[in-house]
Every structure is written in C-alpha cells, then in structure tokens.
Amino acid sequence: MIFNTQRETLSPAEKEALQSEQLHALLTRIDQKNRFYHDALQASHVTPNNIQTIADIRKLPLINANDLMLNFPYGLLTIPVSGIVRFQQSAPAKATGLTQRDLANQTEMLARCLIAGNVTLASVVMILPAGLDPANVLSLQQTAETLGATVITGFTINAKDQLKTMLEFGVTTLFAAPSTLIELAQVLHHLGFSTHDLPVIQLWCEARQLTPEQRTNLAAHYTVPVYALYGHSDIMPLGIAGECHLKQGLHIHEDHFYAEIIDRDTQEVLMDGQPGELVLTTLSREGMPLIRYRTGDMAVLDHTPCPCGRTSARLHCLHL
C-alpha cells in the first residue's frame, strides 16, 4: 500500500520539475531572510537566479554540523522565533527549529514509511525506548496514533514484563534497538519459549543502528520481517527514508529532500552505486532549512525503479 500515491510515484520529469521549483523558491527565501546563507551564497558567487534546475544544486556550498553549532540557536532560522513551535535539540549546541507545517510534514513522511512496512489500523504497536533517541520514540508514537494504530505506552525496562505485555495486548509491531530485540529473544529462550510464541509480525529498527551483522542476527532469532527507518538527529528524527516490503533500499521522500553522495575528501558528487557521504537538502523546510548538509553517514544511492511502484531514489546505509 502507498500512503501518498501522488507524491510517492512521481515520474522523473515531474520530480525534477517539483524539486527545481522548490529549490529556487527556497534559495530566494534564504537569500533574503538569513544572513548566514546570504553570505554563503555571495562567497560562492551564486544567486538564486543562477539555480534554474535541481542539477544546479552542485553550485551551492556544503554545510556541516559545525555550521549548526556556530549559528546556534537562532542563526539558521528563516522566520521569526514566534513562528517556531518546536526546537529539536540534538546536542548542547545544536537544534533544529520547526514550524507547525514542518512537524506535519515530518508526520506525513513517517506515515508513508510505516504504511510501506504494512502498519495498519489493525496494528498494535509497542516501542521499547532503551537505546533510542527520545525524539524518535515521540515521533513514532504520534505517527502511529495518527494512522489509527493502537500504541502501548508506559513500558517497564524489565524484559520479562515487556514480553508479558506483548502477549496480553497482542502486540503486532515492535520498534526497538537491535540489541534490545536480541535480548528479548534470549530471555524468551531462557524461559523455555521462542519468538514464535509472540504475536509480533514485524520488527522496526533505526537504519543507523541496524548493521548487516545485526540484521543477520535478528533473522536467526525471529522469522518476521525487519524494517529499517532512516533519520538524522540534526535534520529529522525518523522518516527521511524507509524500507518497503521488498527490502531493496530505503525510499527517500524526494518531494521533501534532495539527496547526494559525495566523496568525503574531494567533495565531488558521486554516481549511483558509489559509496560516499550522504548530503541532504531540506526542500520543504520552513523554519530552519538545511542546504547541502553533510550528514556524516556513509551510504549508496540507487535510482533504479523499485517493483513496489514507488519512484523515489533508495538509500543503502553503510556501516564502516
């Protein structure tokens, strides 16, 4: 099932036109409304009129976490502080300012991911917070509730009690750190049971935590599918990209983000299939847009069609 068919199945021409329009509008706004970006564009000898298509994004300078810290807390805002409804603080000197529309977009993107992984109205969702960013826990809970799924909250840290809750409530969807899921499987085995005795039909993990080895380890303990969600604390908690049921990479929401892969040393933009550092531009962000933000995460991009019907580029996270 596809949550937003219009946006998730754009043709290449439609996507390019949308992204080009978004980028030009974004650059016009930040050039007028933000001193940091205005100066950065001037230093690169670029004006919004120089950016005609999304391919021209390479003319723009890269930014990184240091720029976030140097401009903390309000230096990257493009609207008055009164228009910001939430600051997502990822470190003592890093925070992302979001408007009401930004939050609504985040919820919609994460909803797309959950629907792609077959979360439905009938799903009973349990989120085990150990090892997870609290912002991710909140985002998941709110989005699952928005979809109409049932969410169980108020968990104990005791694995036995967590297992008891899963059985009593008939939990079908479990989101946790990979290490927590392995611990649960081991506790079940110690008690004389197996994961087959659980009502759980799908597992969810953060892509940045889910290494290939951990995915293999989970497959040895569980027979249900494991879905990965990508988020970045400096940009968006979860939902920048997510796996569909075919597990051929994480679909990026390209009506909200433009993704590039660069060589860490030369900063050259790399082709599909070449590993490098993921760079993201927040095309739809109102409060605090990020232009060509170096995430620090290693990844590979894939623009080949996915049989699921979604036309978005897919992200393959690398754990090096």
What is the predicted pLDDT for the residue at 154?
A: 77
Domain layout of the chain by residue ranges: 9-105+230-318, 118-224
Query: Could you tell me the pLDDT band of residue 75, with boundaries at 50, 70 and 90?
Result: very high
Task: Give which of 130, 118, 220, 239 is closest to 172, Cα–Cα.
Answer: 118
Q: Measured on CA atoms in the order 127, 132, 138, 144, is the torsion positive or negative? A: negative
Task: Give which of 32, 67, 63, 64 is closest to 48, Cα–Cα.
Answer: 32
Q: Phi/psi at 167 (nearest 5 deg)?
A: -70, -40
pLDDT digits (tens, 9 = 90+) for 143-182: 999 999 999 987 777 888 999 999 999 999 999 999 999 9
Q: 9-105+230-318 and 118-224: same fold?
A: yes
* Averaged pLDDT score across all residues of the chain: 96
CATH code: domain 118-224 is 3.40.50.980
Q: What is the value of pTM for the model shown?
A: 0.96
Top CATH class, 9-105+230-318: alpha beta
β-strand pairing of 124-127 with 86-91: unpaired
Query: Which 3 state secondary structure label does DSSP give 260?
Result: strand
Torsion of CA 90, 93, 98, 102, to 10 degrees: -40
What is the predicted pLDDT for the residue at 157?
A: 74
Is the separation of the CB atoms in 252 and 314 below 8 Å?
A: yes
β-strand pairing of 150-152 with 124-127: parallel
